Structure 1
Amino acid sequence: MSLNRRITGILALSLVLSACGSGSGGDSGASSGGTSEKAEISYAIWDKNDQPGTLKIIEAFEKKNPTIKVKLEVTPWDQYWTKLQTAVTGGAAPDVFWMNPLNLRLYAKSGVILPVDESKIDLSGFPQPIVDSHRYEGKLYGTPRDLSVTGLWYNKELFDQAGVKYPTADWTWDDFRAAAQKLTIPDKKQYGFLSYRWDQGGFYNTIFQAGGYVISPDGKKSGYDDPNTIKGLEFWTDLIAKDKVSPSAQVMSDSDLLALFMSGKYAMAFGGSWFGALYKANTETGKKVDIAPLPKGPAKAATVMMGLSNVVWAKGKHQEQSAEFARFLATEEALKILSESGGASLPALPSARDAYYKSFPDYHLKEMVDASVPNGVPFPVSINTAKWLAVQDKLLPEAWAGTRPTADVAKEIATQMNEILAKE
């Protein structure tokens, strides 16, 4: 799975989905619970690490609904969206499948998925940004599943060697920069920070912290030319070119963020809550690291949050049973099973997270999440997010490499992004 869980190779999906028609126009909340009709439905996910926990959830559901059988389909991330696109156009899509906020509006607008009857699901305990990220035109289209929050991972050993105190929830950008400078030792090729170019887990957070925005609330205007947005981007590029507390863009583009941080040569890096499972698996580095909330920006504290949801195919043969299953997946019972599975997924429901936190006793994940969620900001999206993400990803490397001023690159992104948004 890519770090920001974005789709690849799906820029033409809007045309493909439009050709699929508007679906049945029904509501995935048609059933009020339990049905006597026998049915077998399919459920598609992309992470094999979640397979054990998912099978236990399916088992619990089938005990409550003995007439419904659920067949699990696991497709690797790199193939998931292409396979789904083919299945949708061929009329053989999974009955229930994972969806992310980047693609939900496009699928909803094209009539591929059904809205959820909110009167038949308890959403009161879920973080509002996560719930809202799965809405389109006022309707909820996905039942919340998990939550990804970005925090500041740090190497305790390097902090101890430099005599620098560990990050706290009160840290500001200035505190962060001061620590990064003390933790940078050129002779040892040790850097205080990895200024890795990544939107969800990186520069989107600082854009909001600086008071900027990526896209307007109505989804019609780019925020890349806003002065505060540019300030949020320069937080990263300045760390490379001016402060020199981060390696060059070339070094970072030649290696994965996780691999670089686990090398033990970098004191701090922004990273997702789900990194905990990956660091824990690395017995050497895993014992040296911990996580704290992101430092506060000049405008506010802000953390970009994203979460997956479960959606129902609009042309499935067993919509009532599929809706029943999708709603069960968002219950406390199901999410507690997810929490107990020991995987990388942090349940979106706070009351279901205890077992997850206990799986990572060496990391302050709970403290980071509890401090970050109140400042949560949904991942920026429009109808066809992938089109302007492609522009962003094409142009920003020039700013990171220092070949063009960050402000100039940002303004060009805004121009092209506005042209795309005008056609949505």
Structure 2
Amino acid sequence: MFNKRKMLAGSLSFLSALALVGCGGGETADSGGSQGTGGSDGDKELTFMFRGGEDEKKAYQAAINAFEDANPGVSVNVISTDADQYATKLQAAIAGNDIPDVFYVEQGDVMAYVDNGILKDITEEVENSDFDIENVWEYGINSYRYDGKNIGQGNIYGLPKDVGPFALGYNKAMFEEAGIDLPDPDTPYTFEEFVEVGKQLTKDNDGDGELDQWATGFNVNWSLHAFVWSNGGEYLSEDYSEVLIDSPEFIEALQYFADLQNVHGLTPSVAQAQTLDTYQRWMNGEIAFFPVGPWDMSTYATLDFEYDLVPWPAGKTGVAAT
């Protein structure tokens, strides 16, 4: 935990990593709000805001208990939100100058938050503590370095919480009901095969003339990467100096992704997704393929259907990517 100071907004992230950070700014102990206040008995309070499921809450409570035991006179006020509410509530706290002392920030927001004086430089605290920075994936640490011009170098403004890939999950019951062979767990579908299988899994089950089962429900922010990379495309050059989204490989993958909905009808329409988002439709057993992250495992354990994991469809490289 770090001294109170000021900090996030949702943007396209290339990893699912989040960080614990200390705010930077000019707040004082008697500023009020959730910044932490000095009690009459001299005790101090830190506010910790995070997003996550019940398993994560239990894990963090254990860590907080250990922190409080090691720091007599300091208590931690925990604010937890659902993932879909986190960014909105954090932005509201920032706008109201009622910012938590420690909270999550996506690495895609580090530059803007540092430039606006919100994040505290924690380099000295990290380097002068017992924390073993060499024991953490270097890219994870570097994602929270910023030198005022470039991400990846300079001082540290956060530490990675977790990093995990998106696997591709599929609803086994849908395959069995449709009489389709289950996907090979080691061999990805080609783009063309994925469309053909998807068409067989997109149905009007109740005969009312409206689709109520779909092949996919991919969010472009988190799922497009798999199609771009497997098709030989990239977002940026290796040294981050050139944007590459106008390459033929990228354009082809983006067009394929759009066609899943606009041409093949394998994804709920925009209007249908607004009525019930695709995450909930997957949870309800209405979607055949959906991303699965390690953070989803405890929630998906309660699904009413059996699911399994397969590689993402592969473009012209023939190699699945995530």
8 Å contact 2:47–2:79 — kept in the other structure?
Answer: yes
The residue type equivalent to 2:321 in the other structure is: A
The residue type equivalent to 1:106 in the other structure is: A
User: Bigger shift: 169-178 or 97-106?
Assistant: 169-178
Greater fraction of residues in helix = 1
User: Are residues 1:65 and 2:71 paired?
Assistant: yes
Cα deviation code 1:313-345 (max 9, x no counterpart) = xxxxxxxxxxxxxxxxxxxxxxxxxxxxxxxxx
Give 1:84's aligned residue.
Answer: 94
Per-residue deviation, 1:55: 2.2
Give 1:170's aligned residue.
Answer: 187
Structure 1 CA distance, aligned partners of 2:268 and 2:102?
A: 43
Distance 1:38 1:135, change over 3 A: same
Structure 2 CA distance, aligned partners of 1:47 and 1:229?
A: 33
8 Å contact 2:217–2:289 — kept in the other structure?
Answer: no
8 Å contact 1:152–1:269 — kept in the other structure?
Answer: yes
Distance 1:291 1:127, change over 3 A: farther
The residue type equivalent to 1:151 in the other structure is: A
Structure 2 CA distance, aligned partners of 1:227 and 1:155?
A: 33
Structure 2 CA distance, aligned partners of 1:239 and 1:61?
A: 49
1:295 to 313, 317, 320: 313
> Structure 1 unaligned runs (5+)?
1-5, 10-21, 25-36, 304-424
8 Å contact 1:116–1:143 — kept in the other structure?
Answer: no
User: Are residues 1:194 and 2:194 paired?
Assistant: no
Identity %: 22
Distance 1:104 1:136, change over 3 A: same
Give 1:180's aligned residue.
Answer: 198
Distance 1:210 1:47, change over 3 A: same
Q: What TM-score comes out, normalization by structure 2 length?
A: 0.67
Spell out the pairing of 1:209-288 with structure 2 (5 A cutoff).
209-216=230-237, 221-282=242-303, 284-285=304-305, 288=306
The residue type equivalent to 1:213 in the other structure is: E
Q: Could you say which structure has the greater relative contact order, defined with CA pairs below 8 angstroms and 6 or more residues apart?
A: 1
1:7 to 6, 9, 18: 9
Structure 1 CA distance, aligned partners of 2:284 and 2:101?
A: 43
* SS of equivalent to 1:149: coil
Give 2:140's aligned residue.
Answer: 130
The residue type equivalent to 1:134 in the other structure is: Y
Per-residue deviation, 1:155: 0.6
Per-residue deviation, 1:223: 3.3
The residue type equivalent to 1:295 in the other structure is: P
Tell me the matched-pair count.
Answer: 266
Give 2:50's aligned residue.
Answer: 45
Distance 1:165 1:47, change over 3 A: closer
Per-residue deviation, 1:150: 1.3
User: Are residues 1:141 and 2:148 paired?
Assistant: no
Structure 1 CA distance, aligned partners of 2:274 and 2:181?
A: 28
Structure 2 CA distance, aligned partners of 1:171 and 1:47?
A: 31
Per-residue deviation, 1:224: 3.0
Q: What TM-score comes out, normalization by structure 1 length?
A: 0.53
Per-residue deviation, 1:157: 0.8
> Structure 2 unaligned runs (5+)?
1-7, 12-23, 27-41, 148-152
